[in-house]
Structure 1
C-alpha cells in the first residue's frame, strides 16, 4: 500500500491556520485541548501512535455525548468532535503504508464518522474513503488471479410465487402522467397509484445495472447498519454494523440465514456517492412544499421473504423498485380502527396484525378493512400517500429506493 500516507497528507489542510477548530461552549475545554494538540502534531513530527491514541480518546469522549438522550437532541458540535476523532485515528492508521486489513479498518472508521458524526473540512472523510477504497481495490487480487483465494459463493436465486392480485383490489397503473394530472387525480385525493416509465432513464437501469456484483464493486468494503431479523416487530430483531460484503455473504448468499437480514438505511446514498449518481429524484416531488434538500432518500436491500409489517409513515412516499419484485398491500387512514395499531408510543404507527396470516380471533375487525394490493416490478414507482398503511414482502432479492417528501 505504498504512497497512501503521501496522498493522505495531500488532501489535508496545508497548515494549522487552514485547519481551524472552532466549537461552541458545549464542547469541554479539555477535549478542545486534545483536539488542538493532535492537530498541531500533523504539522510538526507526526507520530502514528499519537494520532491513534488521541483519536480514540476524542471518539470515546464524544461517543458518550452522542448516546445520551434522543439523537435529534445531540449537539452538532459533539458530532463534529466525533468526526475529528475518527479523522485523527485514520491519519495514524495510514502512516507508513498500511496493510489491506488496516486500510479496511480505516475505511470502517471513516464510515462511523459519516454515520454518527457531522461533515468536517469540506467532507474530508468522504474523500479519504475514496482514496483508501482505490488503494484497497488495486492491492487486493481477484480470485481469478489468486488460486489460494476461496471461491466466492454463488447466488442461488430464491424467488417466491407471485400472489394472484384481485383486479377489483389492484392499485391502478398510469404511464408517465402529467404533473397536473398526478396532482389532481392522486396527490390531492391521496390515492395510491403505480407510475410506469418515470425511472427508465436512471443509470441504475441503463449504465450501471444494479446487481450483487455491482454493489460489491462500489460499496463492498463500506460499513453500514444492517437490520437483523425477519421483521422489526420480532423480539429478536436487532441492528449490527457490517460491511456490505459481510451482509451479502451472511444474509444473501447463505441459505441458512436468508431472510433474516435487511439493509435499510437513509444514509447509504450519502456514504456511497456512486450509488446516488445512479438514481434521480422523481419530478413529481416538485409538487411538495419543501425543496430537494428536504427529501429523504432511503435504500432497501434484502433477500426474498423480507417483510415490512403493516405500518404508516408521516410523509408522502415514492417507492421505486430497481431489482426484484415486492408484494404490497395498502390500507387508507380511514381503516385505522380495524388495523389494531400497537399501543406503545414506539410502535404506534405499526399494526399488530400479521397481514397474510391474521389471527381473526384476536383481531376480528381486521377482515372488515378494505385494501388495495399490487406486485411492484422493476421500473415501477408506487405512490404511497402520507399515513397510508402499507405492508411489504419481497418476492425476490430486492433493491428499492424510497423518496419521502412533504
Structure 2
C-alpha cells in the first residue's frame, strides 16, 4: 500500500481559500501554545520494538523544534521537515505490513509524531491551512493519540482561522448540471400496496419495542428527527464548508461485489466532486439499524431472513451477507428462486427513519443526491 501523496501536491481549487500560515502570526502563536513548554515535557517513550535509530530521529525533530533558533530559521525548518518525512515514510511501511490488528501501537504513535512535527514545520512557514489539516488528519486516521490528542486540538485552531471563499461560478454551474442530469434520469418506482412498509408517527419507546423491535418488523418512523439541526442545514455546500478539507476513509464503488470497489483516504471535497454514487447491492447486518433520511429520497427493498435462500448469498465468508442478485434487473435464469422472494418496499423521504431489524436484507438506491445517517445496535 503506497502512502497518499504529500499535501503540497494536491489541488485545492474546491477547498476553502488556502490561507497562509507564517511564523509570528496569530495561527502559529495559537498552535505553539498547545505544545509542552520544554522539550523535556514532550516525552518520547517507546518500547524496544521501535528501533533506536527511529527514536533518534524523533528526538532530532523535537530538538529542532525547541532549539534556540526554533523553526524561525529556514535551515532548521527544512531539516526538521526532512526528518519528519523520513519518520512518516518509515513508520508508514510498518503500518502496512500484515493485518491492521497486528500493528504495534507504538508504530502508530511514531507515525502520529511524524505528522505532528511535519505539521508544525508547515505552520512555521508559508504552508496552507488546508494542507496542514490533511497532515494532521492522516495522523489521526493512521496513527494513535499523542500528547492529549494534540492533532485534534491543532485542527480545531486551524479551522477557526480558515476562511471560506465561494467556488467559482463555473464550478457551481457544473455541479447544478450534474444534479439535474442525475435527477432527470431517475425513475421513481411504483410500489404495490401489499408490499408497502407501514408508517408510525412518534411512537412511544414501549410501543416501538413491543410491536416492532422485539418481533423484528420493519417500520417507518415519522416526526422523531424533525428537531435535528441537520434537517435544515445539510447540503453539499454546507458539508464542503464544515468538512471539505478534512481527510476521511471512503468506500469507492457502487457495489461491494464489483471488482473496482475499493477503500481509500481522500478529502471530503474530492469525494463530493468524484464519487457521489449509489451503493445498490443487497446485503444484511448482524445488528438492528435505524436508517435516517436527511436529504433526498431513497428507494429501499427489505427481505426477511427467511428469504435468504431465495437471495443467493455469496459463498465466500467475506461476502456471505451479500446477495449475488441485481434486485431491479435480476437474471432469473441464473437465480430462478429470486422471483418468489417476498419483500417490503418504500421510498424514504427527508425526515423519515426506517427501522431495519437485525439480519434483514436491504437494497438501497438513491433517487436524488441524498444523505442518510445510520445507527446500529445489538
Name the counterpart of 1:311.
283
Cα distance, 1:307 vs. partner? 2.6
| 2:72 is aligned with 1:56 | no
Counterpart CA distance in 1 for 2:309 and 2:66 is 65
Of the three residues 171, 175, 186, the one matched with 2:201 is: 175
Distance 1:314 1:39, change over 3 A: farther
Name the counterpart of 2:307.
335
* Contact 2:253–2:279 under 8 Å retained in 1: no
Name the counterpart of 2:3.
none
Name the counterpart of 1:124.
150
| 2:365 is aligned with 1:389 | no
Cα distance, 1:238 vs. partner? 2.8
Q: Over aligned residue pairs, what C-alpha RMSD do you find?
A: 2.1
Who wins on radius of gyration, i.e. which is larger? 2
Counterpart CA distance in 1 for 2:111 and 2:355 is 38
Counterpart CA distance in 2 for 1:190 and 1:178 is 17
Name the counterpart of 1:12.
35
* Contact 2:254–2:281 under 8 Å retained in 1: no
Cα distance, 1:233 vs. partner? 1.7
Distance 1:185 1:323, change over 3 A: same
Count of aligned residue pairs for this structure pair: 342
Name the counterpart of 2:170.
151
* Contact 1:51–1:91 under 8 Å retained in 2: no
Structure 1 alignment gaps of length 5 or more? 144-148, 252-260, 262-301
Provide the secondary structure at the position in 2 that maps to 1:226.
Answer: strand
Provide the secondary structure at the position in 2 that maps to 1:171.
Answer: coil
Q: Report 1:348-363 matches (<5 A).
A: 348-363=320-335
| 2:187 is aligned with 1:164 | no
Provide the secondary structure at the position in 1 that maps to 2:36.
Answer: coil
Provide the secondary structure at the position in 2 that maps to 1:11.
Answer: coil
Structure 2 alignment gaps of length 5 or more? 1-19, 71-75
Of the three residues 228, 235, 238, the one matched with 2:252 is: 228
Deviation per residue, 1:184-236 (Å, 9 max, x gap): 11221222111111111111124xx1001111111112223333333232222
Deviation per residue, 1:93-150 (Å, 9 max, x gap): 1113x243xx33222111111221222222211222233334342xx7546xxxxx66
Counterpart CA distance in 2 for 1:25 and 1:167 is 67
Counterpart CA distance in 2 for 1:216 and 1:19 is 35
* Contact 1:329–1:372 under 8 Å retained in 2: yes
Distance 1:168 1:31, change over 3 A: same
- Normalising to structure 1: TM-score of the pair? 0.78
- Normalising to structure 2: TM-score of the pair? 0.84
Q: Report 1:273-312 matches (<5 A).
A: 302-303=276-277, 306-312=278-284
* Contact 1:192–1:384 under 8 Å retained in 2: yes
Name the counterpart of 1:398.
370
Name the counterpart of 1:291.
none
Name the counterpart of 2:121.
92
Q: Report 1:163-242 matches (<5 A).
A: 163-206=189-232, 209-242=233-266
Name the counterpart of 1:254.
none
Comparing 357-366 and 312-321, the one that deviates more: 312-321
